Amino acid sequence: MTPYENFSFFIYLLIPLVPAVLLGMAGATGRARAAWVLLSTLGMLLFIAEPQSVLYQITAYLLFEWILIRLYLAYRTREAGENRAHVFYWMIFLSLLPLVVVKLNPSFIVLGFWHTVIGFLGISYLTFRTVGIIIEVRDGLIRDIRLLDFVSFVLFFPTLASGPIDRYRRFITDLHKPLNRQEYGELVIQGIDHIFRGFLYKFILAYLINKYWLDPLSHTFGFLPTVKYMYAYSFYLFFDFAGYSAFAIGVSYILGIKTPENFDKPFLSKNIKDFWNRWHISLSFWFRDYIYMRFVLDSAKKKRFKNRYTASYVGYLLLFGIMGIWHGTQLHYIVYGLYHALLMIGFDVLARKNKQRKFWGKGAGWDLLAILTTAQFVMFGFLIFSGRLG
């Protein structure tokens, strides 16, 4: 069963959530709550993983990633002070390998005779978590990982299928943090608020937009219908995805985990950089911290480019190119990624020139114009993402 896809799923959610509330209101220790998070995650995984072969795939994936991380931890401990890049890159490559196989060829032949299909719902988000751990091990921020903590973090069921993407150290801090009754009660209230927001977004607004606006345009082509489709798809995508995220965050809060927010009024963004600070925040920040910033800093250290802006622009092409491919290897996903890279580069160039020539000013009127202009560029990007133009 896909999490948060229908109302029946929320009935089953009572099984892990009711005991979590009882433990929290009773002032249970962080250790007791952590044990329940683990048991709940494993129990819900048995329920979500259908057919049974998916459970085997998740188990194999988890074991594979755990072995990689333990090997890298052992290497970093044994080779104290050493930080050989090739070992790190091999670990990253191997950690990404299952996802790469799924993206490129989910159906393949094993040992020349056994045809199988690999991949399961949420493998992308699990991969982000495990790769993030390897990167932070390399940075010396993570020096040891317990197996049970690793399982709880990677398979945390509220965010298993659709994120948000959390960070290991932040998650583990919440997992073992002692909460008194008042602190936990505040989390529950915030969690319930997120869940009701999710119902509003996904089951009311996204449903109505899809039924009465988007679906009627799906088989109507031409310039004007395509423009209407662009707006309909953009709003549907936001409310559907933001609804999923609100559910995941709300359930996490009730379990005592403050999963980070994923959306912050993205259609009120004043420029494209502002948009990526508001849209799918956990993903955009993950790419920013682990790909863009590292590439730019490494380029400056090695003097890869004469102009510092060139490093930044190549970084944008790398970042959004990878982000596009992460969504899928189809051409429209790749074009979507490169489109946003060009928007980021273009805005940076204009922003620097604006300091000298003043193309735009300040004030409520300019802010409104900036919001409306940014929204058009963003929504055209969603039109590319939808595949309708291809």
307 conformational bin, left if phi > 0, alpha if psi -120 to 50, beta if neither: beta
Position 28, amino acid: A
Burial of 199 (0-12, 13-18, 19+ CB in 10 A): middle
- Is residue 332 within 8 Å of residue 389, measured between CB atoms? yes
Position 254, amino acid: I
Cα angle value 332/335/338 (rounded, 5°): 155
| 219 given a catalytic annotation | no
Q: Which of 115, 176, 219, 327 is catalytic?
A: 327
List the one residue out of 166, 165, 139, 151 whose CA is nearest residue 72: 139
Scan for tokens 């920013």, then name that residue.
288
Scan for tokens 């709880």, then name that residue.
152
In three-state secondary structure terms, 298 is helix
- Is residue 43 within 8 Å of residue 15, measured between CB atoms? yes
Q: 196-201: long-range contacts at Cβ-Cβ below 8 A with a sequence spacing of 24 or more?
A: 197/243, 197/246, 197/250, 198/4, 198/243, 198/244, 198/245, 198/246, 198/247, 198/250, 199/243, 200/243, 201/239, 201/240, 201/242, 201/243, 201/246
Q: Which value, in Å, is the radius of gyration of the alpha carbons in the chain?
A: 22
Dist CA 158 CA 9 (whole Å) = 12
Which residues are catalytically annotated?
327
